[in-house]
């Protein structure tokens, strides 16, 4: 009797994540209906975001600026983070002395544990001024947000990359060394090809994280609805727009916010699925 209940409750719990995901998609889709009906796919290319002062059901809303801001800040972050994360993984698997591996790994993992709001605070008061004096601009903008985003996703990428590099059989590396290969040649010709799937998977997963990151970017991107014309310009992103304006929006504007949330959700769902299915595989022991 108890066994049956135990099993049934286990099954119910397991299916819950399915229902939550379907629930998120349906709720966002339903609440976004007004905006989807009104603007359709044109929403993605339109840069106007203007509420009607008299009637909440009117107004023109387009998601191009936050969409662009999300993509650009993510691209900057990826360009900076990818080489550094791979470098750290190489350091941890191939270079570091045994006594260094543990402390360096822990330090990198602690970097991942720091809450994103802390990155935002620190970035705003300590990092933004440095960007301002080096590159000009206001201090806050795409570049600052991108760099701090990079620091946030590096530990995550480095950890998965390291794990997949660790799966390379020693025999393979040793054979290459025996042929007189240098460490770099072993990394380039043996480890990289072998661990390629894991590395690409980690890059795509990190991309998914960066797209949805809210608090750090909210402090650093400037949070203004404007098209950036240079890399130091302030703009906004989907998560930041939601964080700052979602709760005050009404009517059609609110529906457009749900539309943006839906786009973000679908895009990150797609990206994460691609990373999981194509590159990381699911190891079922």
Partner 1 sequence: MNRLLLNKIILVLSTLSAVIGISFLFWILATLTYKGVSSLHLSTFTQDLVNGGIRNLLVGQFTMALIASAIAVPIGMFAGIWLREYSNQNKLASVIRNLSDVMMSAPSIVIGVFVYALFVAPFGNYNGFAGVIALTIMMIPIIISTTDNMLALVPKELREAGIALGGSKHKIIVQIIIKAAKVGITTGVLLSFARIIGETAPLLFTSANNQFFTMDLTGQFPSLTVSIYNLATYPDEESRQLAWAASFVLTAIVLIINLTGRYMTRNKK
Identify the CA nearest to 91 among candidates 102, 101, 78.
101
- Both tokens of 282, joined, read 């699911």
User: Does position 51 bind partner 1 by CB under 8 A?
Assistant: no
Picking from 78, 94, 47, the residue whose alpha carbon sits closest to that of residue 206 is: 78
Q: Which is nearer to partner 1, 27 or 227 (CB)?
A: 27
Check if the beta carbon of residue 165 is closer than 8 Å to that of residue 195: yes
Using rule CB under 8 A, residue 227 touches partner 1: no
Report how far residue 210's alpha carbon sits from residue 144's, in angstroms, rounded to the nearest whole number. 14
> At a CB cut-off of 8 Å and minimum separation 6, what does 204 contact?
271, 272, 274, 275, 279
Q: Which member of 71, 121, 200, 231 binds partner 1 (CB under 8 A)?
A: 121
The residue written with tokens 């809450």 in the block is 115
CA dist 164 and 281 (Å) reads 12
Among 64, 183, 192, 197, binds partner 1 (CB under 8 A): 183
- When asked if residue 79 is in the footprint of partner 1 (CB under 8 A), the reply is no
39, 49, 61, 119: residue in contact with partner 1 (rule CB under 8 A): 119
Specify the residue, 175 or 273, whose C-beta has the smaller distance to partner 1. 273
User: With binding defined as CB under 8 A, does residue 132 bind partner 1?
Assistant: no
Alpha carbons within 13 angstroms on the beta-carbon side of residue 4 total 1
Contact call for residue 179 and partner 1 (CB under 8 A): no
| Contact with partner 1 (CB under 8 A) among 44, 48, 107, 227 | 107
Among 40, 41, 53, 83, binds partner 1 (CB under 8 A): 83
Residues that bind partner 1 (rule: CB under 8 A) add up to a total of: 91
Dihedral, CA of residue 30, residue 34, residue 40 and residue 42, to nearest 10: -130
Asked if 132 contacts 139 with a C-beta cutoff of 8 angstroms, the reply is yes
Shortest Cβ 31–partner 1 spacing (Å): 6
Q: Between 144 and 173, how does the x/- string for binding to partner 1 read (CB under 8 A)? A: -------x--xx--x---------------
CB of 11 or CB of 229, closer to partner 1? 11
Q: Which two tokens stand for residue 77?
A: 């972050």
Residues 64, 122, 177, 194: which binds partner 1 (CB under 8 A)? 122
Q: Is 60 in the site for partner 1 (CB under 8 A)?
A: no
Residue in 6, 33, 48, 166 binding partner 1, rule: CB under 8 A: 6
Helix and strand counts by DSSP (H, E) for the chain? 13, 2
Q: Which is nearer to partner 1, 215 or 231 (CB)?
A: 215
Q: How far is the CB of 215 from partner 1 (least distance, A)?
A: 5
Give least dist CB 226 to partner 1, A.
Answer: 19
Tell whether the torsion through CA atoms of 263, 266, 269 and 274 is positive or negative: negative
């Amino acid at each position: 009797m108890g066994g049956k209940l135990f099993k049934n409750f286990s099954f119910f719990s397991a299916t819950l994540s399915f229902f939550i995901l379907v629930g998120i998609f349906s709720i966002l889709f339903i609440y976004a209906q007004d905006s989807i009906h009104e603007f359709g796919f044109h929403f993605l290319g339109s840069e106007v975001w203007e509420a009607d002062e008299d009637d909440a059901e009117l107004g023109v809303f387009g998601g191009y600026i936050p969409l662009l801001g999300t993509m650009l800040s993510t691209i900057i972050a990826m360009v900076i983070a990818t080489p550094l994360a791979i470098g750290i993984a190489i350091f941890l698997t191939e270079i570091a002395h045994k006594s260094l591996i543990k402390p360096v790994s822990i330090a990198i993992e602690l970097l991942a544990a720091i809450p994103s709001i802390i990155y935002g605070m620190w970035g705003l008061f300590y990092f933004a001024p440095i960007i301002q004096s080096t590159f000009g601009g206001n201090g806050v903008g795409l570049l600052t947000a991108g760099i701090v985003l990079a620091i946030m996703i590096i530990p995550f990428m480095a950890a998965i990359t390291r794990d997949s590099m660790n799966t390379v059989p020693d025999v393979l590396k040793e054979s290459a060394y025996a042929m007189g290969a240098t460490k770099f040649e072993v990394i380039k010709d043996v480890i990289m090809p072998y661990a390629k799937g894991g590395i690409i998977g980690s890059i795509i997963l990190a991309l998914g994280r960066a797209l949805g990151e809210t608090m750090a970017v909210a402090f650093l991107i400037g949070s203004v609805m404007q098209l950036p014309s240079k890399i130091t310009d302030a703009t906004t992103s989907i998560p930041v727009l939601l964080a700052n304006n979602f709760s005050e929006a009404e009517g059609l504007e609110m529906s457009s916010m749900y539309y943006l949330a839906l786009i973000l959700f679908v895009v990150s769902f797609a990206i994460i699925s691609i990373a999981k299915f194509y590159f990381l595989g699911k190891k079922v022991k």
